[in-house]
Structure 1
Amino acid sequence: MMLVQRLVEYAREHSTSKPFHREREFSWELALSSTGKKPRLDECRDADEARKGRGQRHLTPAVTRTVGVAPQMGADDVQYVLGWGDEGTKPARVQDCHQQFVDLINRWAEESAGECPEAEVVRDFYARGGVAEVQRPDEIGAKQGVLISVDGVRIITLDALTWFWEAEVARRKTGGTTGLCLVCGRDGVLAETVPGNLSKRLVPGAANNPALISVNERVFGYQLTTGLHHTPICLACGDAMNTALTELLSGPHTLGAAQQDSVMTWWTLGDAPKDFFNIMPGKPDPAAVNRVLERLRGGQPLLVADSVRSQAAEGRFCSVTLGGNSSRVVIRDWIDMPLSEVMANLAGWYDDHEIATVWDEYPVHYPLWQLERATGRWDKDRKAYRDFRDTANGQPEHVHRDLIGAVLRHKPLPASMPRHVVQRITNDGTVDGPRAALLRFALQRHPRKDTDMPPGLDEQRTDPAYIAGRAFAVYEAIQLASVDSRNPSRNEPDGAGESGNGRKKLNATFKDRHFSGAVSNPRPALTAASKLAPGWLGVIRRSKWSGLAFTLEGKLSAVLALADEIPGRLNPKQQAEFILGYHHQHAHDAQQRRERRAQRGDSDAA
């Protein structure tokens, strides 16, 4: 019940929606007139949306509708408003839907008692058989939405309709039972079923519009009963719960991606420091992240000003990660913790995945979506990761919630995550900043963590796997420098990881031939490289960069001297260390090239 209570609190603080309304899509508008003009059925799609087959979205009266016939007020499907079916509907059911919609309009007009002329216009339209006067478009479907307007005013906006609808929902959903609500702790009219649901477009995996709480079959209820008799929730709280969750999932504080099994939305109760919003992992502000990290590393409070600290001490962070299963919501994670604790966890997240790259002068941090995309397949032709919407992108469907849990709860990644990233790297040979950041984060939170893995090169680290990765990177740089040295127009070899403009095209580089196998067993690759390296260095010595051969040879000797022997088979943790050693060495070499070019004043210092 704590989740429901937090949602109701949010709705009461922030929501301005009318009770028992939800947003849905409409493609048509039935235009009626009080002056006797012929009714029209107009298409109300926006031009851009019409090309995509979509209609306009409007907030309309609505309650949960499962398999039974239950008309909504003032706007509904074609089969309800106009009584038109299609190939996928049964004529008897369509007739029943239409008749119940007309009966609802008649009761509204009767209860308005002449105070709402629009209600009388709509009632008279149906009473005289006005549907027969409406020309039916060829492309219309029974499940498409229809709005009703009178003299250009859509009746869903009328206060008289809203008041009638509130009473109608209470009649349908309560049965007149009163009692203590478990959510607000007050006596009120209790709901037999929750008076609303969520749009399936907001919930990954939902086949229909799902409900957060539903006991519509005996198998789901306590003592094989249906309804909310054993979970008393008042009608107002039931509506507020759905309103809050709909607004949150539709708002900016939502993290999710296509082809994932869940979406996360978050909110705060009480005042939050400005940096908190700027360092959430969706699109973090680098300056805010650096400010928080400086305070974390300096032992300073993460909530800066005393006034803000005192306010945030009472503030709380709430988030819910959910997915869908047919018509039900699956709660995959629920967080309710102090803002100060979440700030510390976020700071730890950025501290643990910070990584040096080939392209950046300083270590960088990544938004969540970039790390999620890096778990997918690399498209060698496009030189980019496959899109989230690509069903063949190869991302685990749970990667989003695994990362969210690690970020907000300060947890380690599941063991399957770094193994999956290593597999992707060995399959396509691409090691970039996001993938290296994921592996570093996994090692920083590893249960058997021996020492810290720094963001950039650790020249004193003696882990055999890390040294083997560094050695592989140096051997690769030696081979590519030997290729570059054959081009007299070049100012300096680009080295591995850079563009290599003017480099002679190789059928297969040392990395192409050996990297995939070296990740799990570096000994054969490094043994082969030790035999090839003298020839590569000889080519460099005979070029105008003869001094570079001495530098590279010294670098290789220094790296190999750190390890007693070349390791053989590597376990999953060591495989991640090998890849990070390889990545760190290339990032370090790229930084050295930038510094040399800056000293020379080269325009291409990058």
Structure 2
Amino acid sequence: MILSELVQYYEDEAKKGNIPQRGWSAAKVSYELRLNEDGEFIGLQSIRVQEQRGKTIKDVPILLNVPKQATRTSGIAPFFLCDKAEYLLGLNADYSGTSDEIQSDEEKKVKEKNKKKILKKFESSKKLHTEILGDVDSVVAKAICRFFEKWNPAPEIVAENTAIQQEWDGLSSGANIIFSLNGTQRAQDDSAISDAWNHWYQQTLKQEDTITGTCLITGRHSPIARIHPLIKGVKGAQSSGGALISYNTGKQAFESYGKKDAQAYNAYVSEYAAFAYTTALNSLLSDGSHKKHLGDTTIVYWAKDDNKLCQDIFSDFFDSDEANRMTDSKLNDILNKIQDGMPFDYQGVSIAYDNPFYILGLAPNAARLSVRFFLKGCFGDFLKNFAEHEKRMEIVKPSYIRESKIPLWKILRETANPNSQDKAASPLLAGAVFRSILLGQAYPISLYQNILMRIHADSGEGKISFYRAAIIRAYMLRNKRRRVSVALDEQSTNTAYVLGRLFAELERIQQDANPEINTTIKDRYFNSACSTPAYVFPVLEKLSQHHLRKLSDGSRIYHEKCLGMIIDLLNLNSNPIPKNLTLDEQGIFILGYYHQRQKFFEPKKINKNISGEGA
């Protein structure tokens, strides 16, 4: 299903001219090698652009459509029109333009061996370009052929070139170079050259000894791809790319139907389909504004119709940067129409509720890629489910919290140890939470369990934070179908909820009696009060009497009145304090504590309780 949808995406985008045709690929290019009509080297221009990467601004290569660059192993394999400096210029990193130090005989042998290998790479590139462009009647083509005839690839001469010395670090690190005529016309844009490449590429395919069969993706009888192109741009994967589909040779476990050492011939995918799905996926991954990272997972998403606008909306919904998100009024307008299953407008364009939308999560796995999840559904359904999740996450918040929505990465961060160097959540948990939100399913129980575990393990202000309380409320609403208010529910008689409120009031009494105190009963008794309240609250009651005696008469009377109101809700005569609270009841206890604490800081004029509805 994944491959067929990617092939369809490729075909849709190819019709619009938004994606490379077969025989072409997108490549990151850093430099432009400028030639004149006689093929003379006249300059080397950086075409990189500046981008904000974290807190710094860096020069990054641009993405250009160039002749196809196949997977290159340790052998010598030149690329046409776009390649590294060692192929196009004979650049050898051993010659940095500095004087050689005293070398051993072994080091000299290695250096000489590298020199010969670089010269072979240049000669192979020269042969390829001469073969393809030799008969092409084009000024640019002739200039490239003359360049290869005139250029001296001797490493010591190349290293002395002033233009090359200025860009030595970038060139020697493997940056790609393209040809241009006088800096005004790039070689790959010349129609005669592109026609010559397409003809050469097609002839090469016909000469290859390939197996034919029925493609599992297209259903057509076609040449079968033995090795699929690599996927680039997945976070944490190899920079050279990773394979989505591959088989090791010589492994009997993969040699089904007698196809020994056949690699991908065990699962028939045509060369066309392999090119189409990898080109589509590489195109999506290269678009930084339309992909997201969730832990170790790279998420890409696309729509069948109105592709860019749907992706923009989806990006706005999940953007972790509050400044980049759409305004609340615009977001709420979209959500109101989505709730009714109606089309909605975005940037003046009407988008259908039932527009097919696809979300793919990829993670690195050695030289391969693993699929964390693949979601397919109506665009409106995904947004509706996400909107309902955000509504479940609503809870009264401290005044210092400015954000209106809680991004997914913050939810996941709450499950990790705040004192560890790696604060990333479990990759499996991240994927499970993501799926549950977009599909409108119950949250994974491991999310709730991890939050309880962190609350019991941590201390200080972060022990019961706004984010953790919001997660617990969402879990109770969706998974347990409990009615849990956004703010304090003063009428609730739920034992666990009232006990949480009572603990918060006892803590406030202690803090008012000892203003300079740094450690409260929360640090010592909260965990046991939350799990085994019958054994702890009698101790806390005795402590509170000690604390009340330290208060002034007015303050003591006020706190005794507050305590009495909360204790009356417990109805202890018929319902004694339970010995143990279940995991679900512990969550309710925590919400009662959190709500009561937030009530203490509520402005006196505001005394409203906003109730939430069960999911």
Normalising by structure 2, what TM-score? 0.76
Asked if the contact 1:181–1:190 (Cα under 8 Å) also holds between the matched residues in 2, the reply is: yes
Find the residue that maps to 1:595 and give its secondary structure: coil
Q: 1:514 to 1:159 in 2, by over 3 A?
A: farther
2:281 aligned residue: 245
Aligned mates of 1:271, 1:26 — CA distance in 2 = 29
Which one of 150, 159, 174 corresponds to residue 143 of structure 1? 174
2:3 aligned residue: 4
- For residues 46-86 of structure 1, the C-alpha deviation after alignment (integer angstroms, 9 at most, x for no partner) is 57789877542232334341424332221212332233344
- For residues 372-431 of structure 1, the C-alpha deviation after alignment (integer angstroms, 9 at most, x for no partner) is 33334447xxxxxxxxxx953253234432221111222333333222222333313412
Q: Report the alpha carbon displacement of residue 163 of structure 1 after superposing the two structures with TM.
A: 3.5
Q: 1:473 to 1:568 in 2, by over 3 A?
A: same
Given residue 577 of structure 2, which amino acid in structure 1 is its aligned partner? I
Q: 1:55 to 1:49 in 2, by over 3 A?
A: farther
Q: 1:86 to 1:508 in 2, by over 3 A?
A: same
2:97 aligned residue: none
- For residues 344-366 of structure 1, the C-alpha deviation after alignment (integer angstroms, 9 at most, x for no partner) is 43344234333232339999642
Given residue 431 of structure 2, which amino acid in structure 1 is its aligned partner? R
Asked if the contact 1:372–1:400 (Cα under 8 Å) also holds between the matched residues in 2, the reply is: yes
Asked if the contact 1:75–1:145 (Cα under 8 Å) also holds between the matched residues in 2, the reply is: yes
Given residue 181 of structure 2, which amino acid in structure 1 is its aligned partner? V
Given residue 255 of structure 1, which amino acid in structure 2 is its aligned partner? K
Q: Report the alpha carbon displacement of residue 452 of structure 1 after superposing the two structures with TM.
A: 3.6
Asked if the contact 2:354–2:380 (Cα under 8 Å) also holds between the matched residues in 1, the reply is: no
Given residue 67 of structure 2, which amino acid in structure 1 is its aligned partner? P
1:323 aligned residue: 363
Matched, 1:438 2:453: no
- For residues 244-274 of structure 1, the C-alpha deviation after alignment (integer angstroms, 9 at most, x for no partner) is 22333324342324xx221222222246998
Q: Report the alpha carbon displacement of residue 30 of structure 1 after superposing the two structures with TM.
A: 3.0
Find the residue that maps to 2:365 and give its secondary structure: strand
Aligned mates of 1:225, 1:40 — CA distance in 2 = 48
Asked if the contact 1:32–1:149 (Cα under 8 Å) also holds between the matched residues in 2, the reply is: yes
Write out aligned runs for 1:469-508 (5 A).
469-483=500-514, 504-508=515-519
Aligned mates of 1:218, 1:172 — CA distance in 2 = 28
Which one of 63, 87, 92 corresponds to residue 58 of structure 1? 63
Find the residue that maps to 1:209 and give its secondary structure: coil
Which one of 515, 536, 553 corresponds to residue 542 of structure 1? 553
Find the residue that maps to 2:241 and give its secondary structure: strand
Write out aligned runs for 1:247-286 (5 A).
247-249=283-285, 250-257=287-294, 260-270=295-305, 277=314, 280-282=317-319, 283=325, 286=328
2:101 aligned residue: none
Given residue 368 of structure 1, which amino acid in structure 2 is its aligned partner? L
- Give the alignment's Cα RMSD to 1 decimal: 4.1
Matched, 1:33 2:66: no
Q: Report the alpha carbon displacement of residue 173 of structure 1 after superposing the two structures with TM.
A: 5.8
Asked if the contact 2:48–2:60 (Cα under 8 Å) also holds between the matched residues in 1, the reply is: yes
Write out aligned runs for 1:327-476 (5 A).
327-339=367-379, 341-359=381-399, 365-378=405-418, 391-426=421-456, 427-429=458-460, 430=462, 431-446=464-479, 449=480, 451-476=482-507
- Identical positions, percent: 24
Asked if the contact 1:198–1:209 (Cα under 8 Å) also holds between the matched residues in 2, the reply is: yes
- For residues 275-305 of structure 1, the C-alpha deviation after alignment (integer angstroms, 9 at most, x for no partner) is 9748844457644665677689xxx633368
Gaps of 5+ in 1: 380-389, 484-503, 598-606
Aligned mates of 2:117, 2:477 — CA distance in 1 = 61
Aligned mates of 1:101, 1:278 — CA distance in 2 = 42
Matched, 1:552 2:562: yes
Gaps of 5+ in 2: 95-109, 320-324, 609-615
2:597 aligned residue: 586
2:245 aligned residue: 213
Aligned mates of 1:355, 1:268 — CA distance in 2 = 33
Q: 1:157 to 1:305 in 2, by over 3 A?
A: closer
Find the residue that maps to 1:130 and give its secondary structure: coil
Q: Report the alpha carbon displacement of residue 333 of structure 1 after superposing the two structures with TM.
A: 0.9
Aligned mates of 2:569, 2:26 — CA distance in 1 = 62
Given residue 245 of structure 2, which amino acid in structure 1 is its aligned partner? I
Q: Report the alpha carbon displacement of residue 28 of structure 1 after superposing the two structures with TM.
A: 4.2
Aligned length, in residue pairs? 552
Matched, 1:103 2:127: yes
Find the residue that maps to 2:153 and give its secondary structure: helix
Q: 1:61 to 1:135 in 2, by over 3 A?
A: same
Asked if the contact 1:271–1:312 (Cα under 8 Å) also holds between the matched residues in 2, the reply is: no
Aligned mates of 2:76, 2:604 — CA distance in 1 = 72
Given residue 143 of structure 2, which amino acid in structure 1 is its aligned partner? V
Asked if the contact 1:471–1:559 (Cα under 8 Å) also holds between the matched residues in 2, the reply is: no
2:146 aligned residue: 124
Find the residue that maps to 2:90 and give its secondary structure: coil
Given residue 116 of structure 1, which amino acid in structure 2 is its aligned partner? S
Aligned mates of 1:525, 1:367 — CA distance in 2 = 37
Normalising by structure 1, what TM-score? 0.77
Asked if the contact 1:63–1:197 (Cα under 8 Å) also holds between the matched residues in 2, the reply is: no
Asked if the contact 1:412–1:445 (Cα under 8 Å) also holds between the matched residues in 2, the reply is: yes
Q: Report the alpha carbon displacement of residue 508 of structure 1 after superposing the two structures with TM.
A: 1.7
1:18 aligned residue: 20
Given residue 20 of structure 2, which amino acid in structure 1 is its aligned partner? K
Which one of 163, 188, 210 corresponds to residue 195 of structure 2? 163
